[in-house]
A and B are shown apart, each in its own frame.
Chain A
Amino acid sequence: MSATATPLPATTEMRPGAEVVLRALTEQGVEVIFGYPGGAVLPLYDALFQQNSIRHILVRHEQAAVHAAEGYARSTGKVGVVLVTSGPGATNAVTGLVDALMDSIPIICLTGQVPTHLIGNDAFQEADTTGITRPATKHNYLVKRSEDLAGVVHDAFYVARSGRPGPVVIDLPKDILIKPAPYTPAPTVPHRSYRPVTQPDQARILEAVRLLKRSARPVVYSGGGVINSGPEASRLLTEFVRMTGFPCTNTLMGLGAFPSSDPQFIGMLGMHGTYEANLVMHGCDVMLNMGARFDDRITGRLDAFSQGSRKIHCDIDPSSINKNVKVDVPIVGDAGNILAAMIECWKQDDTPVNKEAQTAWWRQIDQWRKQDCLAYVQQGKIIKPQHAVKRLFEITQELGRETFISTEVGQHQMWAAQYFGFDKPNRWMTSGGLGTMGYGLPAAMGVQIAHPDALCIDIAGEASILMNIQEMGTLAQYRLPVKVFILNNEYMGMVRQWQELLHGSRYSESYSAALPDFVKLAESFHAKGLRATEADQLDDVIREMIAYPGPVIADICVDQKENVFPMIPSGAAHNEMILGVGQQGGVAGVTDEGKVLV
């Protein structure tokens, strides 16, 4: 992650705690904070008012502040910073924190707290914030002594961005923000206890490279760890995949680390991954997992997961290794360092490459590709949601603008992953681990703050968007030209899909009744509202949306019955994937054990 800014000198001068906090943030290179005020953090807001180096973005709900900071962090590689008040401010932020924890996003969340002498008294707007957020963060702090204040802030930044990144909470009692405190610069000595391993073991690298060279049916499966390591890691991944000639698949979190337009890219894998990616995972003999974690969305039924392969697992977090899947070659380290070492070793080592077998492997893969698993038919007036995403992608390609995509959660999220191509890292923000509806709009907001001239689009569902719709106000206030592209199927489509396939088409509570008029809703928030109801309107609406200089909601009314395919039903194996056409309505492969899974 990004390095710290220039150190500020220690001073013997005592300054109010709030000023010390801002000084430490400045030293850490913070330029923007997403926040919402309240009684307990008024001293910090007062200090913010009296300075110019840190910009504050006023959100409309604390959950959105965290998602905005996540969007900011994911699109820049920097730490995202959040400021909320005590009690409800902190509890509202919890969903965002868990989201950042699950997706390993570096966040600092400053929470106000009642003064130290009132802690434990059930004081007004008191909540046990460190207690509540302990399992929701990578680490948290309650500052009880002024002399610890600056040190804790520096420590928090180190923890948030080192090793596997994550969210960190600093709980700040009001008296600590007011009382004079000393300033100490960021330490230059190693951390007392937290020192994650980032350099890989060379012997393991050699073992991995030899295994890969001798393999007949190799695959590179890469995830969010490569993105988190920084753009250099994605460059190295691309170099490595091209020099080896291996097929490469990305997880939902890893999209963009390897160019989707590259012929060696076989698509996303997992529950809604491509036919070829999942069959490659199923049939490979050596698997190189680079910065992914064998999540259940990826593996499907564990005891049937890629039974015939030797597995190399590279992860910066040792607890990810052998958690779900037993591996043969574990490599702990930073993805960038590991890839650099592997490239070097690949060049040095003279183990012959099993070219012949690998050529046959590609012939097999090309056979699977012929299945054309993402094909759909756009016929007549009704807009297919896949088509809407595909056209959005093609038109943005045509325009050649720097484009960032965020999503909400549901079918539209999967279609976005399937039909929008990413050739660069940090362009794709989606809630992977937690699957948080309401993520996309505030995340896009954070991206737009970091990249004012870029095109930032939230591909949304009509249900999800309502979960943080209040952020349209933030877009208006800061003139953020975020585009909300709603695939409006009038259903919680992903819920409806599971009900259709697993619960006898009993659509219990999954219809999006009483929807607002999104065009009018946009207008009431000082944004532009557009709508496409028929296929021939689609391109015009997309072009108008992009051309408009301010925020837009584009309500794209799509086919209500469409499902996301391919699909590996929960509890099924990779080779038990359903491809859709002709297979809809009842899923054969789902066992009772599968039904209990989410």
Chain B
Amino acid sequence: MERTATIAVLVENEAGVLARVIGLFSGRGYNIESLTVAPVDETRSISRITVVTTGTEMIIEQIKAQLDRLVPVHKVSDLTLDGAHLQRELALIKVVGQGEARVEALRLADAFRARVVDATTESFVFEMTGNAEKIDAFCGLMKPLGLAEVCRTGAVAIARGTRAL
């Protein structure tokens, strides 16, 4: 039985650390659905990597153990397993069109709580945050209305409640 896991990894913010993580996934044939990384402390010495992956329970356990034994890794947490968590991603979506399609795009954006962050007479750039399914759904609706370009950050995630990594 395969499942999806959202794994948070705290690492030393040093040269090559991302290459180590990505190399581990490619070298051992694990999937990466998405991966995000940025420093998260005030001195910028620690980065947090959020990686969404799929695999059997045995594989996911392996992925976590393999990540944990990388020298610059401080902590690995399986947010999917460790309890309820929030997962968000940011997307910028460009829709090009005129007339009725343009009006319809704007109406749907409103319903999805996507913000207009750029507009010309022939285009919009929408900004939207949410889980992956919501963004997928919105992009699907924009397709016939002139969807021109999509960029997405990949997921970031955090546990609900008082628990902290």
Contacts and interface: CB of A to CB of B under 8 A. Distances in A.
B86 interface: no
B136 interface: no
Contact of A193 (B12, B20, B58): B12
Contact of A134 (B16, B58, B61): B16
Given A134-B23, A193-B71, A194-B71, A142 B65 contact: no
Interface string A134-153: 11001110101000000000
Interface residues of A, dominant DSSP: loop
A120 to B, nearest CB: 13
B66 to A, nearest CB: 5
Contacts of B15: 142, 144
B20 A159 contact: no
Interface in B65-97: 65-66, 68-74
Contacts, number: 46
Interface string A112-143: 00000000000000000011001100111010
B68 A318 contact: yes
A163 B27 CA distance: 22
Nearest to B11: A193
Given A319-B65, A322-B58, A322-B61, A193 B73 contact: yes
B65 A193 contact: no
Interface in B88-108: none
A326 B73 contact: no
Contacts of B69: 163-164, 196, 317-319
Contacts of A318: 65, 68-69
Nearest to A318: B65
Interface in B19-70: 19-20, 23, 27, 58, 61-62, 65-66, 68-70
A192 B12 CA distance: 9
A323 interface: yes
B74 A193 contact: yes
Interface in A172-201: 192-194, 196
A131 B19 contact: yes
A131 B15 CA distance: 11
A201 to B, nearest CB: 16
A57 interface: no
A322 B58 CA distance: 7
B65 A321 contact: yes
Contacts of B58: 322-323, 326
A134 B16 CA distance: 9
A130 B15 CA distance: 10
Interface string A300-322: 00000000000000000111011
B71 A322 contact: no
A318 B68 CA distance: 9
Contacts of B72: 193-194
Contacts of B27: 135
Contacts of B20: 134
A196 B68 CA distance: 10
A139 B23 CA distance: 13
Contact of A322 (B12, B62, B68): B62
A135 B71 contact: no
Contacts of B66: 319
> Closest 9 interchain pairs by CB?
A319-B65, A139-B71, A194-B71, A193-B74, A318-B65, A319-B66, A135-B27, A319-B69, A159-B71
11 contacts: A134-B16, A134-B20, A134-B23, A142-B15, A163-B69, A193-B12, A319-B62, A319-B66, A319-B69, A322-B62, A323-B65
